Structure 1
Amino acid sequence: MRIAMIGTGYVGLVSGACFSEFGIDVVCVDKDEVKISRLDRGEIPIFEPGLDDLVANNVRAGRLTFTTDLKSAVKDADAVFIAVGTPTRRGDGHADLSYVYGAAKEIAEAMDGYTVVVTKSTVPVGTGREVAKIIRETRPDADFDVCSNPEFLREGAAISDFMRPDRVVIGTESERAQEVMRAIYRPLYLIETPIVFTTLQTSELIKYAANTFLATKITFINEVADLCEQVGADVHDVARGIGLDGRIGRKFLHPGPGYGGSCFPKDTLALVKTAQDYKAPLRIIETVVDINDKRKKQMAEKIISACGGSVSGKTVAVLGLTFKPNTDDMRDSPSLDIVPALQAAGAKVKAYDPEGMREAREMLPDVEMCESAYDTMDGADAVSIVTEWNEFRALDLERAKKLMKQPVMVDLRNVYNPEDMRKAGFEYVCVGRGTTEAEAPK
Structure 2
Amino acid sequence: MRVTMIGTGYVGLVSGACFADFGHDVVCIDKDAGKIDRLNKGEIPIYEPGLEDLVERNVREGRLSFTVEGAEAIRSAEAVFIAVGTPSRRGDGHADLSYVHAAAEEIAGLIDGFTVIVTKSTVPVGTGDEIEAIIRKARPDAQFAVVSNPEFLREGAAIEDFKRPDRVVVGTDDARAQAVMRELYRPLFLNETPILFTGRRTSELIKYAANAFLAMKITFINEIADLCEAVGADVQQVAKGIGLDKRIGGKFLNAGPGYGGSCFPKDTLALVRTASDAGSPVRLIETTVAINDSRKKAMAGKVADALDGELKGKTVGVLGLTFKPNTDDMRDAPSLDIIPALQAMGATVQAFDPEGHEARQMLRDVDFKANPYEAVEGADVAVIITEWDQFRALDLDRMKLLMKKPVVVDLRNIYRQDEMERRGFRYASIGRGA
TM-score band, normalised by the shorter chain?
over 0.9
Q: How far 1:335 sits from its partner (Å)?
A: 0.1
User: Which stretch shows the higher mean deviation, 207-216 or 184-193?
Assistant: 184-193
Q: Distance in 2 between matches of 1:312 and 1:70?
A: 55
Q: Give me the TM-score of the superposition, normalised by structure 2.
A: 1.00
**In structure 2, C-alpha distance between the alignment counterparts of 1:317 and 1:73, rounded to whole Å:** 49
Task: Report the counterpart of residue 424 of structure 1 in structure 2.
Answer: 423
* CA–CA distance in structure 2, aligned partners of residues 104 and 189 of structure 1: 30
Give, in angstroms, the shift of residue 69 of structure 1: 1.0
Matched, 1:259 2:245: no
Match of 1:205 in 2: 205
Residue of structure 2 equivalent to 1:311: 311
Q: Which residues of structure 2 form unaligned runs of 5+?
A: none
Q: What amino acid does structure 2 have at the position aligned with 1:17?
A: A
| Letter aligned with residue 431 of structure 1 | I
| Alpha-carbon distance, 1:305 to partner | 1.2
- Distance (whole Å) between structure 2 residues aligned to residue 185 and residue 69 of structure 1: 27
SS at match of 2:316: strand
Task: Please list the CA deviations of residues 65-90 of structure 1 after superposition, one character each: whole Å capped at 9, or x if unmatched.
Answer: 00001211101100000000000000
Figure out how many residues of one structure are paired with residues of the other and give that number.
Answer: 434
Tell me, what secondary structure is at the counterpart of 2:351? strand
Counterparts of 1:35 and 1:188 in 2: how far apart (Å)? Answer: 30
In structure 2, what is the Cα distance between the partners aligned to 1:177 and 1:238? 46
Name the SS of the counterpart of 1:111 in structure 2.
coil
| 1:365 CA drift (Å) | 3.0
Superposed CA offset, 1:87-131 (max 9, x none)? 000000000000001000000111111100000000000000000
Equivalence map 1:358-377=2 (5 Å): 358-377=357-376
1:380 equivalent to 2:397? Answer: no
The one-letter code matched in structure 2 to 1:316 is: V
Equivalent residue number for residue 134 of structure 2: 134
- SS, match of residue 339 in structure 2: helix
Q: What is the one-letter code of the residue matched to 1:417? A: R
The two structures have a TM-score, normalised by structure 1, of 0.98
Partner of 1:215: 215
3-state SS of paired residue (1:145) = strand
Deviations 1:204-252 (A, max 9, x none): 0000000000000000000000000011100011000000000000000
- Take 2:232 and 2:343, find their aligned partners in 1: how far apart are those partners? 31
Distance 2:351 2:45 in 1: 23
| 1:244-296 deviation line (CA, Å, top 9, x unaligned) | 00000000000000000000000000000000000000000000000000000
- Deviation of the 1:49 alpha carbon: 0.1
Amino acid at match of 1:294: S
* Counterpart for residue 394 of structure 1: 393
Indicate whether 1:270 and 2:300 are aligned. Answer: no
Q: Which shifted more, 157-166 or 184-193?
A: 184-193
Q: What whole-Å deviation, never above 9, does each CA across 1:315-339 have from its counterpart, x for those lacking one?
A: 0000000000000000000000000
> For 1:103 and 1:32, how far apart are their aligned partners in 2?
14
Q: Structure 2 counterpart of 1:327, which letter?
A: T
Q: Residue in 1 aligned with 2:51? A: 51
State the alpha-carbon separation in 2 of the partners of residues 31 and 73 from structure 1.
Answer: 14
Task: Give the equivalent residue in structure 2 for 1:342.
Answer: 342
Q: Partners in 2 of 1:309 and 1:231 — Cα distance?
A: 21
In the TM superposition, 1:315-330 aligns within 5 A as: 315-330=315-330
Describe the SS at the equivalent of 1:3: strand
Q: Deviations over 1:340-384 (max 9, x none)?
A: 00011111000000111x201000131000000000011000000
CA distance in structure 2 between the aligned counterparts of 1:221 and 1:95, rounded to whole angstroms: 27
Counterpart CA distance in 1 for 2:324 and 2:419 is 25
- Whole-angstrom distance in 2 between the partners of 1:52 and 1:173: 36
RMSD, aligned α-carbons: 0.5
> Which whole-Å CA distance do the structure 2 matches of 1:79 and 1:2 have between them?
7
- In the other structure, the counterpart of 1:178 is 178
Question: 1:168 — aligned with what?
Answer: 168
CA distance in 2: counterparts of 1:382 and 1:270, whole angstroms: 37
State the Cα distance separating 1:304 from its structure 2 match.
Answer: 1.1
In structure 2, how many angstroms separate the alpha carbons of the residues matched to 1:366 and 1:15? 37
Kindly state the Cα deviation for residue 190 of structure 1 after the two structures are TM-superposed: 2.1
C-alpha separation in 1, matches of 2:231 and 2:123:
42
Give the AA of the match of 1:373.
P
Matches within 5 A, 1:226-237: 226-237=226-237
Matched residues in 2 for 1:397 and 1:187: separation? 47
User: In 1, distance between residues paired with 2:299 and 2:417?
Assistant: 18
SS, match of residue 349 in structure 1: strand
- How far, CA to CA, are the matches of 2:387 and 2:144 in structure 1? 46
- Structure-1 separation of matches of 2:163 and 2:316: 41
* Runs (4+) off by over 3 Å: none
